[in-house]
Chains A and B, each alone.
Chain A
Amino acid sequence: MNPHLLKSVFWTICLASQAVFLWPVLAGPTLESAVVAIVACGLFATHWDRKLRFSFSALSAPLLCTGLSISLIAGAMGLPWLGSWGFLLSVTAFFADQSDKSGNSMLQLGFLFAGCIALPAILERKLADLTTDSIVGTSQMILYATGTPHLADHTEFEYVGKTVEVFSSPWVTWRLSFIITIVYSVLRRRRWSTTIANMASATFCWYSFRFMMLTCPALVPAMPGQACLPVCSLISVLLFLSLERGVRTLLEPVPDDAGASKYANPMIEIWNRMENPAVNAVPEQPRKALIFSLCLVGLLIGGSHFISGGMTDSSPDGDESSQAHQTSASVEES
């Protein structure tokens, strides 16, 4: 049998069966998620070297197995939100496997789908409240420090002759910044560690954008109201680019010169491997990775059964979960 065909069938069944979890938990309108999927496919198409792989490496194997296990558990317990995260891990494993060894990493394309997954409503509300509290608090501290008179609550900031509303649902702009950051990182061929640092930087820039929008009308009274949005956006983008430059410099590899000792420094070795796995690639050991992954799957399934008890019978999405269960089982057999 053609090995390429086998790999194609495996990845298609694996990802398609888990994608069903994604549908009920899409954040925002479907069009937005479709755009994300198209962008991901486009980036993959332009960065892929047209060689379908199933290397089951030290990185992809745990990701895939954990993803499948989570999907199984989610199917059994009727938790589509958990299943969507399983799908996310499997997609990440797929993209990690397709990366070549010349530094062309596509691992972070998998992160792109995280921007489409909505958090549970309660958690999202709590996080939104926490973020709003934090932004309002920071803005107030800045205004106090600059001696700017203001009257603030969780809905609006009142200045002398001006009122600025506090944006109550912050996740839309945050998701946008998150997706843009990943697309940027893929286009610029950043490593996954740099991508993660960029995501943190983007979150900080988004946070800065939020409090700049709140404080700008008071701190720069001469600025017209309509100019606030473009100016703050521009500052946030420049801040992100500046931060990215700093992050890249800080994450550069550390040269391992031969010194007094003939032995290597393991910390330098780990650091360099994290930033640039192509430099010191470990030979792949598919047999060991498979055994390790199967153990992990068994452990997760056993743990979930132990935790869930008799919950599977009362799960509302019983059909869907059984379908996912069967799909995962067939993957294991293959």
Chain B
Amino acid sequence: MVLKRKSRKKRRNDKLEFRKPSIWTWPRRKLIGWLRFLAFRRRIDEASWKIGDIWQKVSRFEGREYRAVTASGQNIVRLWPKPKLLLNPIWWLAWLAQFSWRWAVSRSFLPMILAVPAVCFIGSLIGLIATGSQMDRARRAAVYQRLVRRSLDRDQYAAAALGADALIRIYPEVTEHRYNRALIHANANELETAITLMTDLALEEDSAKAAMWLAEEQAGKRLLQDIPREEKIAIIEWLTLAIENESPNTKARRLKAEFLKSMGDVRGAYDAITPVADSSLNIKYQAFQLERLLGEDELARKRADYLIRSIRSLLSERPQNAELRLQLASILLYVDKDPKAIEIIETGLEVCPPESRNRLESSMVDAMVVYAGKLGKKENGLIPSIELLRRAMSVDATNRSLIEAIVKICIKVGENENQELQELQKSMANGVGSSASHFINGTIELNNGNVAKASYHLEIAAKENPNLPGLLNNLAYTIIQQEDPDLERALRLSNAAIRNLPNHPYLRETRGQIYLQMEKFTDAIADLEQALPAMELRDRIRPALATAYEALGDSNMAAMQRKLLSEGK
């Protein structure tokens, strides 16, 4: 064998291999080894080996036998699927389909009949819940609105309250439902709760309807004159709130005007009704009356013309309407068509229903008294005036204004020496009854200065007819004319007269005089100032006012009153 010398290159490598390693070789090689161990590639290699092991283990299941159950209930031997089938998603789907099919066809349906009630129950429950959840607020509210209506028709307030409460829950933002709830409380005689709810609504929610209800509730079914002043003020406040919260709110304005008028604030009443004065015939009529009271004749006449036309046309359609007839008569009286007014009422007595007869008769007498008063002021008008009053006596001899008119005319006739008139006056005085006769005689005696005789007649008349304000006033005046007068009794009589006719200047003047004698100067001034519109009384009022002011130490006002008296104002 021939030994061949190694190449130069190989020889150099051998030398390198046998070279002594440096001191850093070992740690470097260890470090590289650890890095390799931790290297990602190495770990993947290891993981793949492990997966391979698992795969081999799973593969052992292939073909493994196990017991299964057939459709007939027998145990059979089946083979476990191969691993490659287990990992194939297509096979998963196939198995799922097979399982579903076999599950469905292998159910025993006969025992399922017993499960039918449960299925029906669940089905109906789901159906009801689905239907209920699809009902919106409006449909739910409709159920309760029907309930409220039906219950109120049948006076079933508990059911109505339930419906109203539910509506409030469905629509908490709608104040109408809360208002209805309060109304139901009121109908169910739970007035305090109703008032509390309405007050909350009116004050916090600015509900005009609630304020209006509160005003009407406070007023009740009482007549205006029966309501105390403090209550009237409260009612007017509610009405003001109702007007502020809802525009124009015609009803509230009308009511407010009526209340203000009853309290003597005619200007306030007119201001309240002016914005809606043209909205309806009734309000136009109300505005007309206020304009009359305020002395706005031009406005009143303009409105009267329109009202006469409108009411006439309405009356042609509804001749039996007594209210319209009375309104028309009142307007005709104002425009000095008194005979027409009397005729309108007289026709009403024939065509209107019997329940309005009393009102028509009373109004007819009033119209006749007014007309008689106008006739009496004319020259040679006393006889027709007396004739008219006699005619009025045939309608209603007990009418208060008629008796007072008769008294007035009798006094006038007493000053006249005409024989025919005297006869007529006597026959008329005889026709009015003993009480009115004493009233007439007492007043005549009082005017003639016979205080004792006047007192005798008036005392008798007052016992028989204690509610006649003119009579009470005259009696009070007679008492203060006496020596050592019973001022307390005079004041009681005067107060009773004023209660019946609150704003009458004659009655105020009498009470002012009584207060003056009782040295209640402030009260006296208040009453006398209210009597000042009566021009014919000013000769008596001014000196009394001057005395009162002087007694109170207000010499300027006293001097001014005397100055006005001297100027004839």
Which residues in A have some Cβ–Cβ distance to B below 8 Å?
Answer: 138, 140-147, 149-151, 158-161, 208, 238-239, 241-243, 245-246, 248-250, 252-259, 262-269, 271-272, 279-280
Contacts and interface: CB of A to CB of B under 8 A. Distances in A.
Nearest to A272: B69
A1 to B, nearest CB: 36
Contacts of A272: 68-69
B69 A279 contact: yes
Contacts of A149: 143-144, 147, 159, 162-163, 166
A31 to B, nearest CB: 34
Interface in B98-141: 98-99, 102-103, 106-109, 111-112, 114-119, 121, 125, 127-129, 131-133, 135, 140
B306 interface: no
B39 interface: no
A267 B91 CA distance: 11
B67 A280 contact: yes
A267 B128 contact: no
Contacts of B76: 256, 258
A48 to B, nearest CB: 27
A58 B228 CA distance: 95
Interface string B66-102: 1111111101101111100110000000011011001
Contacts of B129: 138, 141-142, 145
Contacts of A142: 125, 128-129, 132
Given A245-B111, A249-B111, A280-B67, A266 B95 contact: yes
B120 to A, nearest CB: 9
Given A245-B115, A280-B66, A265 B103 contact: no
A268 B85 CA distance: 16
Given A242-B117, A243-B115, A255 B106 contact: yes
A249 B82 contact: no
Nearest to B132: A141
Which of B68, B95, B143, B144 has most chain A Cβ within 10 Å? B68
A188 B118 CA distance: 20
A269 B66 CA distance: 10
Contacts of B166: 149-151
Given A160-B147, A256-B68, A257-B71, 8 more contacts: A140-B132, A145-B131, A149-B159, A160-B162, A242-B115, A256-B69, A256-B70, A263-B82
Contacts of B163: 149
A254 B165 contact: no
Nearest to A140: B132
A189 B166 CA distance: 50
Contacts of A279: 67, 69, 75
Which 10 residue pairs spanning A and B have beta carbons closest together? Answer: A246-B115, A141-B132, A255-B71, A242-B118, A145-B132, A145-B131, A144-B132, A256-B68, A264-B78, A267-B99
B139 to A, nearest CB: 8
Contact of B128 (A145, A252, A263): A145
Contacts of A249: 107-109, 111-112, 115
B294 interface: no
20 contacts: A141-B128, A142-B129, A149-B163, A150-B162, A161-B159, A208-B125, A239-B121, A245-B111, A246-B118, A249-B109, A250-B107, A252-B107, A252-B108, A255-B70, A255-B71, A263-B79, A263-B81, A266-B86, A267-B98, A280-B67
Nearest to B135: A144
B169 interface: yes
A330 B428 CA distance: 133
Contacts of B67: 279-280
B314 interface: no
B140 to A, nearest CB: 6
B86 A243 contact: no
A265 B98 contact: yes
Interface residues of B, number: 56
A268 B105 CA distance: 13
A147 B117 contact: no
Nearest to B62: A263
Nearest to B96: A267
Given A149-B163, A158-B162, A243 B118 contact: yes
Nearest to B65: A264
Contacts of A146: 128
Contacts of B140: 144
Contacts of A248: 111
Nearest to B163: A149
Contacts of A264: 66, 68, 78-81
B101 to A, nearest CB: 10
A158 B162 CA distance: 8
A268 B115 contact: no
Contacts of A257: 70-71, 102
Nearest to B82: A263
B135 A145 contact: yes
Interface in B267-283: none
A268 B99 CA distance: 6
Nearest to B104: A254
Contacts of B79: 262-264
B535 interface: no
A159 B80 CA distance: 64
B158 interface: yes
Nearest to A253: B69
B117 A267 contact: no
Given A142-B129, A144-B135, A262-B79, A255 B118 contact: no
A317 to B, nearest CB: 45
Contacts of B144: 149
B539 to A, nearest CB: 74
A145 B132 CA distance: 4
A254 B102 contact: yes
A263 B108 CA distance: 26
Nearest to A143: B132
Contacts of B75: 279
A258 B80 CA distance: 13
B95 A267 contact: yes
A243 B67 CA distance: 31
Nearest to B111: A249
A78 B128 CA distance: 48
Nearest to A138: B129
B467 to A, nearest CB: 53
A76 to B, nearest CB: 35
Contact of A254 (B103, B111, B118, B119): B103
Nearest to B103: A254
B164 to A, nearest CB: 10
A133 to B, nearest CB: 14
A265 B99 contact: yes
Contacts of A255: 69-73, 102, 106
A206 to B, nearest CB: 14
Contacts of A271: 99, 103
Interface string B141-183: 0011001000000001011001101100100000000000000
Contacts of B82: 263
A254 B99 contact: yes
